[in-house]
Amino acid sequence: MSKQEDPRSIELADLNYVMSSQAGRNVLYRFLRYSGLDVDNFNKDTHIHAKNAGRREVGLFMRDELKYACYNKYMLMMKENEDG
């Protein structure tokens, strides 16, 4: 890392690099799906609910990072994985 490169710029560049390949997009899409972003996380069992909420929080973070780093590639990933 050069003195001019800050850690945040490197993180964003790394995400952009991973999202540049279909394989990278496939893996990250799978992780996002696993996080439960699109499902109701509520459960009467407080332990299960807490686990689901934590999983979803990580998914929200990942989604926001991907959108910020490479919005067009994020949208491509979503299009590639549309149902039907």
In a domain, 65, yes or no: yes
Q: What is the pLDDT of residues 34-64, one digit of tens each?
A: 999 989 999 999 999 999 999 999 999 999 9
Name the pLDDT band for 5 (thresholds 50, 70, 90). confident
What whole-number distance in Å separates Cα of residue 70 and Cα of residue 50? 30
Alpha-carbon torsion 77, 65, 29, 50, what sign? negative
Mean of per-residue pLDDT scores for the chain: 94
pLDDT of residue 2: 59
Q: Which two tokens stand for residue 16?
A: 């952009």
Cβ 65 vs Cβ 74: under 8 Å: no
What whole-number distance in Å separates Cα of residue 32 and Cα of residue 42? 18
Residue 55: which domain range? Answer: 7-80
In a domain, 17, yes or no: yes
In a domain, 2, yes or no: no
Q: Other CB atoms closer than 10 Å to residue 20's CB: what's the count?
A: 12
Closest by CA position to 28, among listed 79, 66, 70:
66
What's the rounded mean pLDDT across residues 23-27? 98
Name the pLDDT band for 65 (thresholds 50, 70, 90). very high
In a domain, 57, yes or no: yes
- How many distinct structural domains can be found in the chain? 1
In a domain, 25, yes or no: yes
Judge whether residue 84 has pLDDT over 80. no
